[in-house]
Each structure stands twice: as structure tokens, then as C-alpha cells.
Amino acid sequence: MSALRVSEHHLRRPCDRCRQRKSRCIKEPGKENCAFCNLNNVTCTFLHGPRPRIKVRSPPSVTETKPTRHSSPTSSTAGSNDEKDAAGPINSRLEGTLGLELHLHSEYVGPASYHDPELLDLRHSAVSFAEHEVFYPRRVNQSTAFITYPDKKSASEVQRIDDLDRIEGAIRPFGPPLVNLYFRIIHRTFPILDKGVFLEKYARSYREFSPPLLAAVYLIALDWKLFDRTLATAPQPPNVDALKDLSMRAMFDDLKRPKLSTLQAGLLLMQRILPSHSTLPAQLLSIGQTVGIHLDCSDWKIPEWEKGLRRRLAWALYMQDKWGVLVHGRPSLINDQVGEDGGPSDWDVRDCTLEDFTEEGPGENQSGDGEVDAASGQAAFLQSIKLTKIYSRIISTFYSVGATKRGGLLDRIGPSGAMTLAKPLAIELHEWHAAVPPSLRLESSTSLRLSTSGALHLSHMAVELTIHRALLRTLTTNTAPSLRSTIRTAAHARLKSAISLIESFQPEHIQSFWGFAAAAQVALVGTFAGLLWATSAEMEEATGYVEQLEKLRWILQLRAPAVPFAREALRMLHEEVGDLAVVKAATLQGS
């Protein structure tokens, strides 16, 4: 009898795929295939018995994914078949994961859902009702459950493969160098992928990815093509515009079946410049809640490396949401503030620590020049989280609707009360800055390495200006002259410090990875100078602020040709302040 046929003996044990998924293998009477294999249109196989508990081999390095005569990401896929894609590897780091399966997506069952976790426990491992898709309940701890659905009902597998082939075709033969660049530069500072899992899958076939994630990795890595000799000397580099169109179309198609890869792809795409009216940030937050990224996964029944990945991904989403207040001008959607009664919020994610970076092994910092130091990148990511938490409290205190509306909190307490509120936040910000590790000081840099400290200190400067901007807005004609002078003098000092900071950035800072908020943070300096100019009581003071604006624009003009975020900041500055010659003429005319 063929090994691919179901016998009476096989009915008494699970097939290979159900064994791999660790789920119950349900076979209907008279059917050769189980419910899962029938749903995925593949044949039940019984080629593997129970696997011994063995240590998984270390994932291959990026250099091992380069095309060879016998194996390559491209050639191996060309020889693969649908059976291999559907079955997946028998021994893989992906076993036991949640939300990382290729053909499945999981949805969190919230406490107020019409589903009840207690009832889910009474159901079989695979449930199907008439005219409804099969789903698989899964409990990850005593109080948290998910429902896993197959992708087949929500997306075309043929379309997915076609999208991946078109994405790979747009960059061929530069896939391996781009992946190498991504993990040398972007991943070290923005660690939202698991390097081992990505390389394991990439070594087998690019068809094992979701299309938007693969496209996003290629797309963002292309910004550093000059740091790879193959790409830098290519007579015809990949078509960035075509890849961007493919990635965005694939992204919105992937929203139909949300999983961790959807969130990862969206966050990477958001690091590139997108229109401020994009609704993708809100969609990403919804996806995060769907896959349970807002929950503490410490005691979940998932691999330890996935717990670290989920925490890093959760805090990356948190920072995306909080800094989106500055970039998009819309309120934060994550409520992480504890109520007055001390009750918990809906953001229940444990703090990220160095223990959550489990993939970087010995030798990670010896792979060559033109990259980011792994330890410094991790430290910068952790410091950015702490800084963003402070920024969140500042926004909640001074920029909420309740605080800024007519007759709101700031109107009631006035400048003096606002300074009282700002004092503990300013102290906390000062303590954060004092605790920044020496390796992340602006003047600290390693030869032939890109530095992550520039982006970190720019964010710190933006948080400082956010406090002083709020205090400036509380000033009225009735404010005591001494208090007005104190607030404006401090704001003037912060403006000069901010412009000096931007001017001090060196090439190793500028050419490193900068997050999506960098352009808006620089533009905030121009807006702050404009606010001081517009509220100046003396013409001499106003003229000084115009000169500061001219200096800022000159600094950006020098850096714009080489740095995308500087070009965008310059555009935003022109849009916000307008023609500085006109502003200066109006100021001089007024004098």
C-alpha cells in the first residue's frame, strides 16, 4: 500500500501535518484525508513517526542564502511544488508558534467577546458548521485564548504566489544582498523580525513569506544600497517605484488575514514616508489587537523566542502610535495610562529587556564595516521605549482634547499651573538623559560603523520642545511679565540647542536608520521657531527667530541630497513656515 494512502492503521494516529501542528487529526467516515489536509487541498501523509526531542540547528547566515549552483532562494522555489509549500518543514523553529504559520491566521478572543474561552475548551480541535469555515480554538494560558482560521477562505493562494514571484522578479538577482543589508543595518535598530526564522525560511524559498513582508524588507533595505558593493555597482538597480506599488497592494490584501507578518510588514512600510492622511496606522493597531500583541505573553504556551519577538513588536507598535501624534496630528489610539482609581489599562505588555534579544549570537559584530553595532542598536531600542513612555505622558497631560479645549485644563490652571505640571515630567526627562549609556552619547562612535545615537537624541530634543511648546501656548496678555520672560527665555535656549544638535550630526549618524518620525521631529524645530517669532513682543526678538529659521533651513539644504528624512523635513518646513524671505521682509517692515 502506498504511504500516501490512508489505511485503517493510519486512522488510529495523526497524519504528518496534524502531528507537526500538534492538533487533533479529524477524519470523517469514508474520507481519505483529514479535515485540515482536505481544507488545504493536500494529501494526508504518514511518513514520519513521533519526533525525538532534539536541539534545533542554528539558522543559516545570510551569506548561506546567496545563489549557488545547487541551491538558492530563487532556484529552490522554481523547483518547489504546492505540496512542499502546504506541508512546510517537519523540523522548524516555527513549531508551536502563534500567528506565524504560513496558511493560518489567529484572532484573539477578548474578555467581552461573544465567544467564551470556557466554551472553547469544550469544542474539538477543529470545528466546522454548515456554510462556515473551519476554525481551531487554542488556549495559550489560563485566561487567554485564540481562534485560528485557515487562509483559504479569505485569500487566493494563487494570488499570493503570483505576488511573491512579481516581488522577487522586481529585485532579482539582488535578494540575498538586500536581506544582508536589512539585518546589518535596519534590524539592529528596529528589531521587529526574528532573524533566525526569517533566514531559515529564506534559505528554503521566498514563497514561504507573506508578500508584503518580503517586499517591505527589500524596499527599506534599498535605501542603503550604496553599502553593498554588488548593489552599488549594478548597472540597473531594482525598480523602487514598482516594488513600492507591489508592497502596498499586497499589504492591503494581507489585511484580510491578519497575522504577525502583516503587522511586521506594515510597521516596516510605515518607516518610509507615507501621506499623513493614511489610515494604515489605525489598521496596524487593530491588527495588533487581533493577534494579541497588546497582552503579556510571559506565561503563554509558545516558544520563548516568540515571546521576545512579540514584546519587541508590541513596543515598536507602541512607539509608532505615540509618535504618530506628532506625524499625523491625530490622538494616540493606545491607552496605556493607568486610571485615577489605579486600575489597569488595556495595554498589558511587559517591559522589553535585553533578554528579549535572543537571536544575536557571538560574532554578530564582526561581519564587516558600514553596519550598526548590535549591542548599541539594542540599547537604543530600549532607550527609545523609555523615552516614548515619557512623551506619552506629556501628550496626555498637555495635548489631549480635555486639556486644550476652550475652558479646558490649561485654560483653568494658566501658565503657572502648567509649569507645575511640567516640572515632574521635565525632571523625569532629565533623569532619562543622564542615564543614557556612554555608548549612545552623541560623541561616541565606532570607526567604520553607523551610529544609532543621532536618532535617539533627536527624539529627546523633540520631547523637550513638546513641553516648552505647551508652556508657550498658555501665555496670554494677562500673564505676569516675569513668568512670561521665564517661559520664553527657556524656550529660546531649547531652540538654539535643538538647531545645534541637528548641525552636529555626523555622516555616521545621518546615514544610519531613522524612524518614520524623524522628519516631523526636525520640522517641529522650525514650527517651534515660528511660534516664538509669531508671539514675539519686540521686533529685534522676532528678527532673531527668523535668523534661526534661516540657519535651520541651510543645515537641511546641506544634508537633504543624501538623506531622505532631511529632504522631507525641508519640504515640511517650507509648507509650515512658507517663504522665509517674505517672513523676514514682514518682520523688518514691522520694525
Is 407 found in the same domain as 529? no
**Per-residue pLDDT tens digits for 427-486:** 999 999 999 999 999 887 777 889 999 999 999 999 999 999 999 999 999 999 999 999
Please identify which residue in the block is written with the cell numbers 531652540. Answer: 495
29 inside domain? yes
Distance in angstroms (rounded) separating the CA atoms of residues 285 and 530: 33
Q: What is the pLDDT of residue 220?
A: 95
* Domain end marker among 35, 54, 73: 54
* Domain end marker among 456, 475, 505: 505
**Per-residue pLDDT tens digits for 404-422:** 999 999 999 999 999 999 9
Range of the domain at 394: 370-505
Is 384 found in the same domain as 315? no
Q: What pTM was estimated for this model as a whole?
A: 0.81
Q: What is the pLDDT of residue 256?
A: 84
538 inside domain? yes
362 inside domain? no
Tell me the one-letter amino acid at 175: G
Selection from 144-153, 345-354, 496-505, 556-565 with the highest mean pLDDT? 496-505
Distance in angstroms (rounded) separating the CA atoms of residues 414 and 378: 41
Distance in angstroms (rounded) separating the CA atoms of residues 218 and 240: 9
Report the CATH number that the domain containing residue 50 is assigned in CATH. 4.10.240
CA distances (Å), origin 540, targets 130, 219, 543? 78, 48, 5
More confident residue, 562 or 348: 348
Question: Phi-psi bin for 92: left (phi > 0), alpha (psi -120 to 50), beta?
Answer: beta
Is 391 found in the same domain as 315? no
**Per-residue pLDDT tens digits for 339-362:** 445 556 789 999 999 999 986 543
Number of domains in the chain: 4
Residue 31: is its pLDDT beyond 80? no
Q: How confident is the model at residue 584 (pLDDT cuts 50, 70, 90)?
A: low
